[in-house]
Chains A and B, each alone.
Chain A
Amino acid sequence: MKTIVSYSIGFLLSMIFTLLAYNLVFVHLNSHHRLISHPVLLVAILTLAMVQLFVQMIFFLHLGQESAPKWNLLFFISTFCAILAIVIGSIWIMDHLNYNMTPKQVNQYINDQSGF
C-alpha cells in the first residue's frame, strides 16, 4: 500500500536495524571481542542487513505489490540469486586460489594471524 503510514513504517524499521547493527559492533569492540564473538557478530549484522533490504524493498520499492504477473518480483529474486552466486562464488573460488597459489611459508604466516 502506497501510503504515508507504510513509508513511515519502512523508515522507522530501517533506522532501528541500522542502529542495532551499529550498536552490536560497538558492544563487540568495547568488550574486546568477548561479549559477541566474531562469527556471531558476522551473522548478526549480515542478517540485519538482509532484513533491512527486504524492509526497504517492500515498504519503499513496493516489491510484490504489483498486479499479476509479478515480473518485478521475479526479476528481483533472480537478481538476488545471481548476486549470491557472484559474491559467494567469488569468495569461495578466490579463497581457494589464494591459498593454493601462495608459498607455504606465507600461508603459515597468515594462519598465525587471527582475523576474518
Chain B
Amino acid sequence: MLLQVENLKTSFHTRNGIVRAVNGVSFSLEKGETLGIVGESGSGKSVTCYSLMRLIPQPPGKIEGGRALFDGIDLLNCSEKQLQSIRGKRISMIFQDPMTSLNPYMRIEDQLVEPLLIHEKLNRAEAVNRAAQALADVGVPDARRRLRSYPHEFSGGMRQRVMIAMALITRPELLIADEPTTALDVTVQAQILELVRRLQKEMGMAVIWITHDLGVVAEFCQRVVVMYAGRIVETAPTAALYRNPKHPYTRALQRSIPALQPKGAELFTIRGLPPDLSRDIRGCPFVPRCEFNQPQCENPVSLEPVGEQHCSACVRVQRKEIQL
C-alpha cells in the first residue's frame, strides 16, 4: 500500500459560513496504480489532493481531521521538514494551468534543476544533464537549447510537457495530476496522456488523475473514485464502474453525456443544483436530485462494499432495493 487516506475532512471558513469542501474521504492506492478521481466542480476532488500535499491556503482553509499515510508517514500531521522531503521529491503534482506552477521570470533550466540541487545534492553539471534528459523524455525537441528558454516561449501543450518534466525529474513514487489536460486541445491531450502512460510504465510510479471527463478516466485509469459534494459516493475498478454503476449519481452522469447516447436522443438531466456545502447535510447529499430517493435516504450513509472491490454510498443499492 503506497497511500492510505482515512476520513479526510477539509473545510473553508468563509463569510457565508463554514464550507465543508471535503467531508470524510477515505481511499487507498497501491504502488504503480492509476486512480481516477471524478467529479463536477465543487465536488471536492481537487481540495482532496491539495489537502494531501498540505497546499490548502490556511486560513481560510483548514484540514479538520483524518490521516493520510504515505509509506508509513502521516502527511497531514508530520513535521514541515518531513513533508518537505516528500513533497516535490517522492510525490509530485501537475496542475491545470502550467503557468501557475512555472515561474515566468526563471529559465526552464533553473526551475528544472532546482529540485535536483535541493533533494539529490547533485552538482550543477550533472543536474543540467538530467534536466536535458527529462525534457527530451517528455518529447520536447531540441531539449538542450530549449532549457535556456522562459516559460512564455512555449506553447500550451509544450508548457504542460515542461511541467510534467519538472514533476517527474525526481522520479516520484506518486504523481498527482489535477486536470492537466482540461485546457488543452484533444490532439494535445492525447499526446499528454500517451506520454504519462509511457513514463509511468518506465518509472513504475502511481498516478492520481483528477478530472471531470469520464472519457479520460475510462481510457487511462484502473480504478475510479466518484466524488459528489465533498464525499465519495462510489469507488470501483474502471470496467466495473462503467459497466455496472452502483450509485444513482454515477449512473445519471453516464446517461447525461452525449458520447454514450444515440445521436439526437434526449439526454438524461439531473434535476436541481449541487447542494450548498455551507449547510449541514446529514444523509446522502444527492437526495434532492435523485430519482430513487426515499425518506430513509435522509439518514447518515457510509461507503459500503456492494461487489468485488466495488463500494457505493447509496443505501438503496446496498439493500439491493434498486437496480441501476
Decide whether A and B assemble into one complex: no
